A = this chain, B = another copy of it.
Amino acid sequence: MPLSAALLQTLHSIVGDKGFTTNQGEIAPYLQESRNRFQGHCDILIRPKNTQEVAEVLAICNDENIPVVPQGGNTGHCGGAVPQGGILLNLSRLNKIRQLDGLNATITVDAGCILQNVQLTADKADLYFPLSLAAEGSCQIGGNLATNAGGIHVLRYGNMRDLTLGLEVVLPDGQIWDGLRALRKDNTGYDLKHLFIGSEGTLGVITGAVLKLFPKPKARACAFVASESPGHLMDVFAYMRDYFGEQLCAFEMMPRFGLDLVLKHITGTTDPFAIAYQWYGVLEISTSRPNTNLQTELEEALHPLFDRGYIQNAVVAQDLMQAEKIWALRESMSEAQKREGGSVKHDISVPVSHIPDFLAETSHAVCNVVPGSRICAFGHVGDGNIHFNISQPETMEKAAFLTNWEALNEIVHEMAEKYEGSFSAEHGVGQLKINEMDRFRGGVELDSMRLIKRAFDPNNIMNPGKVVKI
């Protein structure tokens, strides 16, 4: 149902010309989604410039039962910020760094701040904000919070949830909750911030946050290792975690097929080794203490792993440029896979101890259904998170392969469930996996979520059709 002219004018008057448009040409870029899987549509784009404007807009939408889809950098993979009607509420104009408290090691920011700006602001204050992911140059803190973003440093620093001390949230009825407390200990009733973090804009609009900062790492060392199997790689992980303890900050895995794709499609990449191996690991250690020997220590740590048979080859980066080259192999994986043709992607997690069995059984099951499927299972295995991506068989048409999307999803997600895992590790649910919620979180858990959704958003205006079906 189109909104009345009077209502449009009221909304327009709240946010002004800069914050309001119904021009589809201007709206179009905000409807694009990173993987082109969802086509959004909406009649109104609203871009408030502060929390108060968000509150006024929401109060009206709640009274009038107008759906509101909050949006940050719109870099998500699950269609969570893609509107299907209603108002698209883009937060990018809320982009102020409100405060940095060096002694307290906290930074208070608007939700629309770009992640990289927060990283850089911390860096200038000789501190460190550890959230790091591929989209960091364009994703926004509000989106990171709404999806509880992960990335490569979760192993040491935790998810976005773990990096957050306080929130400011506009509730569906337009009330503002000022929970911007910069406290590391605060036991005063139910922890509302954890309810909003990860709720993907279905319970309210996050407009500001207090984030934790850390001592800046003063030395890093990085290695690329080759192993016979995922089991051996997990042995390397266990050894390194015990050896380096708190200094182990990333442990990533990739298969030969993934490396092949990178070497084939990404200019300037080279194989660190003269011969091919089955599996590779990228690991990084860092310390906040000045240490010029970290590289040597890493080399020494790797040494006995040859004898034990955990690794077949290893290279430790000798300088920053070599480290960047190693990381580029890992970070180009998605792009390389895209260029290779159709792929069906997953973002699952299992307990670290189940990774080898999960990989073996799932790969087998996938190839049974689509013979010739090329498995590119890579990711943050140190925290159990695997992007179990499946590239089309070489001899198959892309379109034909993609007809198996649902069937492959089902296999991989059922297998994650069998191995006590999750069908969504770090990307969230959005529209993409809302049916999986019924399947794997149904019963008491989903019923409890519905209780919460109904209590906070009785008119179901907040990002309807995402996360939890009402």
Residues of A in contact with B (beta carbons under 8 Å apart)? 101-106, 126, 147-148, 150, 154-156, 158-159, 161-162, 171, 175-179, 181-192, 194-195, 197-199, 203, 214-215, 217-218, 234, 238, 241-247, 287-289, 349-354, 380, 383-385, 420-429, 433, 436-437, 440-441, 444-446, 448-449, 451-456, 467-468
Bound-state Cα–Cα, A104 to B436, Å: 25
Quick one: given A246-B246, A288-B244, are A187 and B350 in contact (CB under 8 Å)?
no
The reply to whether B104 and A187 form a contact with Cβ atoms under 8 Å apart is no
The reply to whether A288 and B242 form a contact with Cβ atoms under 8 Å apart is yes
Chain B residues in 8 Å Cβ range of A433:
188
Out of B215, B424, B467, name the residue touching A245 (CB < 8 Å): B215
Quick one: given A288-B242, A352-B105, A353-B101, are A384 and B185 in contact (CB under 8 Å)?
yes
The reply to whether B452 and A190 form a contact with Cβ atoms under 8 Å apart is yes
Minimum CB–CB distance from A25 to chain B (whole Å) comes to: 34
Minimum CB–CB distance from A170 to chain B (whole Å) comes to: 10
Minimum CB–CB distance from A175 to chain B (whole Å) comes to: 5
The reply to whether B188 and A441 form a contact with Cβ atoms under 8 Å apart is yes
Chain B residues in 8 Å Cβ range of A148:
187, 191
Out of B191, B238, B446, name the residue touching A189 (CB < 8 Å): B446
Bound-state Cα–Cα, A327 to B256, Å: 52
Quick one: given A181-B422, A289-B245, A455-B455, are A449 and B104 in contact (CB under 8 Å)?
no
Minimum CB–CB distance from A213 to chain B (whole Å) comes to: 11
Minimum CB–CB distance from A431 to chain B (whole Å) comes to: 14
Chain B residues in 8 Å Cβ range of A448:
171, 177, 190, 192, 456
Q: Taking the full assembly, how many copies of this chain does it contain?
A: 2
The reply to whether A287 and B245 form a contact with Cβ atoms under 8 Å apart is yes
Bound-state Cα–Cα, A424 to B191, Å: 13
Minimum CB–CB distance from A219 to chain B (whole Å) comes to: 10
Minimum CB–CB distance from A221 to chain B (whole Å) comes to: 13
Minimum CB–CB distance from A357 to chain B (whole Å) comes to: 12
Closest partner residue, chain B, to A383 (CB atom): B184
Minimum CB–CB distance from A116 to chain B (whole Å) comes to: 22
Quick one: given A177-B444, A241-B215, are A184 and B349 in contact (CB under 8 Å)?
yes
Out of B159, B190, B215, name the residue touching A246 (CB < 8 Å): B215
Bound-state Cα–Cα, A190 to B245, Å: 31
The reply to whether A187 and B383 form a contact with Cβ atoms under 8 Å apart is no
Quick one: given A177-B448, A245-B289, A351-B106, are A187 and B198 in contact (CB under 8 Å)?
yes
Chain B residues in 8 Å Cβ range of A428:
187
Quick one: given A215-B242, A288-B246, are A185 and B349 in contact (CB under 8 Å)?
yes
Q: Can you report 17 A-B residue pairs in the complex whose CB atoms are below 8 A from each other? A: A104-B352, A106-B351, A171-B444, A175-B444, A177-B444, A181-B420, A183-B351, A183-B420, A183-B422, A184-B385, A186-B422, A188-B436, A189-B441, A195-B195, A214-B245, A215-B242, A245-B289
Out of B195, B217, B429, B440, name the residue touching A187 (CB < 8 Å): B429
Bound-state Cα–Cα, A137 to B425, Å: 36
Minimum CB–CB distance from A143 to chain B (whole Å) comes to: 13
Bound-state Cα–Cα, A247 to B436, Å: 41
Quick one: given A191-B198, A194-B195, are A349 and B467 in contact (CB under 8 Å)?
no
Chain B residues in 8 Å Cβ range of A105:
241, 352
Out of B101, B383, B454, name the residue touching A185 (CB < 8 Å): B383
Closest partner residue, chain B, to A188 (CB atom): B424
4 A-B pairs besides A154-B184, A187-B424, A246-B287 with CB distance below 8 A are A102-B353, A190-B449, A245-B289, A448-B456
